[in-house]
């Protein structure tokens, strides 16, 4: 049947009283950290994304294409797809997009935009109109731990949401109605995890004092370069078009005085600076306590300390949505080839499998276009942010997605001595409860399970995707030195896989620089390359990620393991393997 615009508009009105529930598996419409307050009204604006449904066979074809261009053994390795080619692969009918657009236009919106792939429609409308469109109730929610200088509020549904029945078959999910952001606020006083480590100066390698006395005993850029062996990339060395990016949320801005103070203290040849920002920046926030900028400054200072003059972009989003970030990257006609993200949550906290699979499609799009995505694997070991709830392990998302590269954390085996590493006990890792073992790691996972001493099978999913894929220093034995606090910067230490992820991303940005300088394509989705070249990494064979001794956990072992992946960067070997 052929619809005209007039007919579709009539259809929207006629079906207004008929709705179909979406994400039907969701039965909790609250969060322990968010307090429901007032009902949203017509004076409140709501921004949502209506995500159109792809045929499962076409998504499988996209995965096939992704693996073909990402597998070094493939005849089409490195021949990444364009936006138009991905649209052809997904083969979403223009009629479906057209139909949904016209039904949605039957409601009052203040902004209306369809993405370049024709599969996501972004709407802005008042909350009263959104309640009509999605047949739900919307309330303001305030974060219970938000400090007074950072009031935090989101509008979310407190009951199931629906879409008009006329477009129910075309719509997968509506994002920014159900999911609550995970926010962490630290007190104004420096908490214990930022305090300097106990340190015996005579026992330390010189690199641990390379950022001055304020950082004595901390991991510094000199420590990382000594351990991982990557070269310094100066402006004249940067390949044309090579770029990298970090993603920031949750009031995580950055300021130039801290970046300059870090560069000066550590004697970096290339001053740490941000070349462009997507989503805005509020540097003044970095002078209000430490909670505003610690995460972003860690990411920026260390990806640049590693990758030198390679240009850096910062994506900032006030929506707190990793899905929104992925859509933003994919809508960029020329996204940075390396993306580092230090945010995530447990799979069990993701509200619905529909959401995770929909987000995976965005990751596949990015990888097929030649974008490498690194996610920190989490800082609570096998137990995740949910802790020992249910007496089962809680894998991380997106780190456990098969279409991203998960980065775990290590410590030096001997404190303040650059050498062998051991698994950080709080580094996230394990096996997904949602996603199957991908082919690129099947042999590595099978080897680990056949040789390691495993926890009782009741704790984890034996058929799940294993993570992390790689690791880097991130533990608390020698925390990372950072500059923070705005004008008159302070120096202190921060630990976590949030530190490891930008370091690994910086190393891969350098590897991209080599390839691009030689006229080759960027590495893109690197997991097949990683597992085919596992011997190019520093294997980590000791330690257990049991989160501070709360047995059990997964042991590090020879080869890949769910505590440290294939190991930490060994740049010279990695470059030879390109």
Buried b vs exposed e over 155-164: b needs ≥16 C-beta within 10 Å? bbbeebbbbb
425 is in an annotated binding site: no
pLDDT tens digits, 220-275: 999 999 999 999 999 999 999 999 999 998 778 999 999 999 999 999 999 999 99
d(CA 496, CA 378): 8
Of 108-112, 129-133, 334-338, the range with the lowest mean pLDDT is: 108-112
Report pTM: 0.93
553 is in an annotated binding site: no
Among residues of the chain, what percentage have pLDDT more than 70?
92
Q: Does residue 156 have a cis bond before it (omega within 30 degrees)?
A: no
Alpha helices by DSSP H, 245-385:
256-266, 294-307, 322-331, 353-368
Q: What is the mean pLDDT of residues 423-439?
A: 96
Residue 185: the pLDDT is 54
Q: Does residue 440 have a cis bond before it (omega within 30 degrees)?
A: no
Q: What is the mean pLDDT of residues 502-518?
A: 98
How many degrees, rounded to 5, is the angle at CA 87 between CA 6 and CA 79? 165
pLDDT class for 17, splitting at 50, 70, 90? low
pLDDT at 179 over 50: yes
539 is in an annotated binding site: yes
- What is the pairing mode between strands 480-484 and 490-494? antiparallel
> In which residue are the tokens 């560069």 written?
263
Every domain of the chain and the residues it spans? 5-54+92-175, 193-576
pLDDT at 320 over 60: yes
Residue 483: the pLDDT is 93
315 in Cβ contact with 279 (< 8 Å) = yes
Q: How far, in Å, are 89, 300, 505, 573 from residue 569 at the CA level? A: 34, 19, 10, 9
Q: Does residue 398 have a cis bond before it (omega within 30 degrees)?
A: yes
pLDDT tens digits, 187-232: 333 344 444 444 444 578 999 999 998 898 999 999 999 999 999 9
401 in Cβ contact with 356 (< 8 Å) = yes
In 3D space, the residue among 556, 377, 344 whose CA is nearest the CA of residue 465 turns out to be: 377
Q: Check if CATH label 3.40.50.200 holds for domain 193-576.
A: yes
pLDDT tens digits, 396-413: 999 999 999 999 999 999
pLDDT class for 288, splitting at 50, 70, 90? confident
d(CA 381, CA 326): 25
423, β-bridge pairs: 410
pLDDT class for 184, splitting at 50, 70, 90? low
464 is in an annotated binding site: no
Alpha helices by DSSP H, 452-547:
497-517, 527-532
Q: How far apart are the first and last CA of the chain?
A: 53
pLDDT class for 467, splitting at 50, 70, 90? very high
> In which residue are the tokens 């106990």 written?
198
Q: For the CA atoms of 207, 200, 262, 236, what is the dihedral angle to 10 degrees?
A: 0
pLDDT class for 10, splitting at 50, 70, 90? very low
> In which residue are the tokens 């294409």 written?
65
d(CA 441, CA 181): 31
- What is the pairing mode between strands 276-278 and 312-316? parallel
pLDDT class for 44, splitting at 50, 70, 90? very high
| H helix count then E strand count, the chain | 14, 25
Residue 144: the pLDDT is 84
Task: Classify the C-alpha dihedral 483-323-473-409 as positive or negative.
Answer: positive
Query: What are the catalytic residues?
Result: 295, 299, 498
Q: How far, in Å, are 40, 148, 214, 256 from residue 281 at the CA level? A: 28, 20, 28, 11
- What is the pairing mode between strands 372-376 and 405-412? parallel
Residue 291: the pLDDT is 59
Kindly report the average pLDDT of the chain as a whole number. Answer: 91
């Amino acid at each position: 049947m052929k619809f005209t615009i007039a007919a579709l508009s009539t259809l929207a009105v006629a079906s207004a009283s008929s709705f179909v529930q979406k994400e039907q598996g969701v039965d909790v419409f609250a969060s322990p950290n968010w307090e429901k307050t007032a009902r949203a009204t017509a004076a409140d604006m709501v921004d949502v994304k209506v995500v159109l449904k792809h045929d499962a066979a076409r998504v499988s074809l996209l995965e096939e294409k992704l693996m073909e261009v990402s597998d070094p053994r493939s005849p089409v390795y490195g021949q990444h797809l364009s936006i138009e080619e991905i649209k052809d692969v997904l083969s979403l009918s223009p009629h479906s997009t057209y139909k949904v657009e016209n039904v949605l236009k039957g409601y009052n919106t203040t902004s209306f935009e369809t993405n370049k792939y024709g599969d996501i429609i972004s709407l802005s409308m008042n909350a009263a109109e959104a309640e009509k469109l999605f047949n739900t109730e919307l309330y303001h929610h305030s974060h219970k731990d938000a400090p007074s200088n950072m009031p935090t509020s989101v509008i979310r549904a407190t009951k199931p949401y629906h879409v008009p029945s006329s477009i129910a078959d075309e719509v997968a999910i509506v994002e920014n109605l159900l999911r609550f952001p995970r926010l962490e606020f630290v007190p104004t006083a420096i908490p214990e995890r930022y305090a300097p480590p106990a340190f015996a100066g005579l026992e330390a390698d010189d690199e641990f004092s390379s950022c001055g006395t304020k950082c004595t005993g901390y991991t510094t850029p000199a420590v990382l370069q000594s351990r991982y062996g990557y070269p310094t990339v100066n402006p004249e060395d940067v390949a044309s078009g090579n770029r990298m990016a970090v993603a920031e949320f949750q009031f995580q801005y950055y300021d130039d005085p801290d970046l300059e103070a870090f560069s000066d203290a550590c004697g970096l040849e290339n001053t740490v600076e941000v070349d462009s920002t997507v989503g805005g920046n509020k540097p003044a926030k970095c002078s209000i306590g430490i909670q505003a900028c610690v995460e972003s400054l860690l990411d920026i200072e260390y990806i640049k300390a590693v990758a030198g003059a390679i240009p850096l972009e910062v994506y900032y989003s006030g929506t707190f949505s990793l899905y929104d970030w992925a859509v933003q990257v994919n809508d960029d006609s020329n996204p940075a080839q390396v993306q580092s993200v230090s945010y995530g949550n447990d799979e069990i906290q993701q509200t619905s499998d529909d959401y995770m699979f929909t987000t995976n499609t965005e990751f596949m799009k990015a990888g097929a276009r030649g974008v490498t995505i690194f996610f920190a694997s989490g800082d609570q070991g096998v137990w995740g942010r949910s802790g020992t709830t249910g007496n089962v392990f809680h894998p991380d998302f997106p780190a456990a997605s098969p279409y991203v590269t998960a980065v775990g954390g290590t410590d030096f085996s001997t404190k303040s001595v650059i050498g062998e590493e051991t698994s950080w006990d709080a580094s996230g890792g394990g096996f997904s409860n949602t996603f199957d073992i991908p082919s690129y790691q099947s042999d590595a996972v099978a080897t680990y399970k056949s040789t390691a001493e495993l926890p009782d099978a009741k704790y984890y999913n034996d058929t799940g995707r294993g993570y992390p894929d790689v690791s880097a220093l991130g533990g608390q034995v020698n925390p990372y030195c950072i500059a923070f606090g705005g004008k008159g910067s302070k120096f202190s230490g921060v630990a976590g896989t949030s530190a490891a992820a930008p370091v690994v991303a910086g190393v891969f940005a350098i590897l991209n620089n080599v390839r691009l300088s030689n006229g080759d394509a960027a590495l893109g989705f690197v997991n097949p390359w990683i597992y085919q070249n596992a011997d190019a990494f520093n294997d980590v064979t000791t330690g257990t990620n049991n989160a501070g001794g709360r047995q059990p956990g997964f042991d590090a072992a020879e080869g890949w393991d769910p505590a440290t992946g294939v190991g930490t960067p060994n740049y010279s070997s990695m470059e030879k393997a390109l």
